[in-house]
Amino acid sequence: MKYIITILIFFSFQAIGRESGQTEITTDDGIEVFNQEKYYLLKTNVIIISDEYELSADLVKAYFNKDLYDITRIFSDGNVTLISSKGIKASGEKIDFDIINEGLQIFGKNSLFTNKEIIMTSDEEIKINNITGNFLINGPDSRLKSDTIDITGYLIKGKFSQIKNINEVELLYVEDEKQINIKTETLDMYALRADYDKKINIIELFDNVKIFRDNESILGDYAKINTLTESYKVTSKESGKVKALLDKTDE
């Protein structure tokens, strides 16, 4: 009888394959289910495959609402990689995935988040909310890069909006006690802080401002740049003087 049951269970192990709408989870070192606390721990070499996403990690803590299938939040630890069917890719030391609120937090060195043309990297934290569009990149080597803009700084936060299936930065705040950098197709800007609002098409730069465009460079303490006309105004607090360098060209 023992062998019959073992064989039956073994074959059902083999026969069970993920069907559409199902989530398949495999682990090398078992599952601990905590009914009272409403979560389960998936241990060692965890792989989760569903219609919406694929996740792999060393350890996963999955919170559920009513039943085990009713997952509300997945906290993954160790070599985490998340790939969504919508083109999102995330990796890091830890990932906190809030399924209900569509929030994603990536922690640790070499944290990475990509969504189509947008790439976010940091050595500390990346936080994105798919519903609100809010994002935060915090820590050393934080960077936000897209086809049209490249931003570096210790803290980068803002908001995305999706226009015609393309993600665009709607609001942006960047700061770094050493230096931030914002590069567009035509401008290369440096400062300690920056603010951008797409509604008014204005980038404001604060402290140790440097702007490079073609062969000209302008230095000051504050700059206001119109992203539509690409015109800018630079001021300096102490001397009231702004330094502008215009290189000669062959022409």
Partner 1 sequence: MCMTCCDLVVKLNNFLNINKNTLFILSIFLIAIFFATIFYKRGSINVTEESFFSIDPKFDIVNPSFTINNPKEKIFVTAEKGNFLNNNQIFLKNNVFFKSDNFTLLSDEVTYDKKKQTAVSKSTSKFESEGTEIISEGFSIAERGDIILFNGKTLLILKQ
Span interacting with partner 1, options 1-9, 120-128, 160-168, 174-182, rule CB under 8 A: 1-9
The full DSSP string for 96-114 is EEETTTTEEEEESTTEEEE
Distances (CA, A) of 195 to 156, 171, 177, 206: 10, 8, 15, 9
Residue 12: its H or E element = helix 2-15
Smallest gap from Cβ 56 to partner 1, in A, equals 14
Contacts of 150 (CB under 8 A, 6+ apart): 143, 144, 181, 182, 183
Residue 129: its H or E element = strand 125-129
CB-nearer residue toward partner 1: 21 or 240: 21
Total number of residues that touch partner 1 (CB under 8 A):
33
Residue 9 DSSP code? H
Q: Phi first, then psi: what are they for 194, rounded to 5°?
A: -150, 150
Span interacting with partner 1, options 8-16, 98-106, 120-128, 186-194, rule CB under 8 A: 8-16
The reply to whether 100 sits near partner 1 by the rule CB under 8 A is no
Contact (CB, 8 A) for 92 and 82? no
CB-nearer residue toward partner 1: 6 or 235: 6
Cα 106 vs. chain centroid, distance in angstroms? Answer: 7
Ramachandran area for residue 173 (φ above 0: left; ψ -120 to 50: alpha; else beta): beta
User: Interaction with partner 1 in 44-83: which residues (CB under 8 A)?
Assistant: 50, 67-71
The reply to whether 214 sits near partner 1 by the rule CB under 8 A is no
The reply to whether 11 sits near partner 1 by the rule CB under 8 A is no
Interface map 18-37 toward partner 1 (x if CB under 8 A): x--xxxxxxxxxxxxxxxx-
Smallest gap from Cβ 15 to partner 1, in A, equals 10
The reply to whether 9 sits near partner 1 by the rule CB under 8 A is yes
CB-nearer residue toward partner 1: 43 or 159: 43
Question: How far is 85 from 89, CA to CA, in rounded Å?
Answer: 9
Smallest gap from Cβ 2 to partner 1, in A, equals 5
Span interacting with partner 1, options 4-12, 92-100, 134-142, 171-179, rule CB under 8 A: 4-12
Smallest gap from Cβ 61 to partner 1, in A, equals 14
Binding site for partner 1 (CB under 8 A): 1-2, 5-6, 9-10, 12-13, 16, 18, 21-36, 42, 50, 67-71
